[in-house]
Amino acid sequence: MFAGSQITKFHELALFTGVKTIGGAYQPFANSTIVELTLPAYLENLTTFSLREAASLNMDELVMPTTLVTLKEMQAKGYIGKVVVKSLLTTFAPHYMYGSSLSGNAKYTFVFDVNGVIPLTNTQYANNHVYYVPDNLVDTYKAAANWSTVASKILPMSQLPTE
């Protein structure tokens, strides 16, 4: 898609209404110089390798569109302070973080800004990351299927550090 691109800021990507999936067998930002991006407004799936080779990323936050249903194995490089999820995903499978976030190296900082529990569909790398959820849902997440295995990593949004 944008492999090898010299684009550094790509907020216009949000206007690509036909892009429903980023990721899969290809690495769309491989060997690019992308530093910032805004995801397409109608994106439904952000999957394997989607940000893996985007080593120059340096963003305080990456906001997922409200249309997103699958967030799976993003494998980001660079720095993404926090990943903000604003939709009740049907598939959530975090993977290894090759870069860093507010929570440190090799850790995503996920912020689930939703009114319900997002199903954790793969726990293999889930313990590597930190999850901020609405304060009133902390206990619900900690008790939910698969989430109970990472209960100590689930924190109330009121404790989210400022940048």
Condensed to tens digits (0 to 9), the pLDDT of residues 35-63 reads 999 999 999 999 988 888 788 899 999 99
d(CA 68, CA 104): 26
Q: If 0-12 CB within 10 Å is exposed, 13-18 middle and 19+ buried, where does residue 128 land?
A: middle
pTM above threshold 0.85: yes
Exposure class string for 114-127: b at 16+ Cβ within 10 A, else e: beebbebbeeebbe
Kindly calculate the radius of gyration of the chain based on its CA atoms and give it in whole angstroms.
15
**33 close to 8: Cβ distance less than 8 angstroms:** yes
Q: How confident is the model at residue 21 (pLDDT cuts 50, 70, 90)?
A: very high
pLDDT band at 120 (very low <50, low <70, confident <90, very high): very high
pLDDT digit string, tens, across residues 135-163: 999 999 999 999 999 999 999 999 999 76
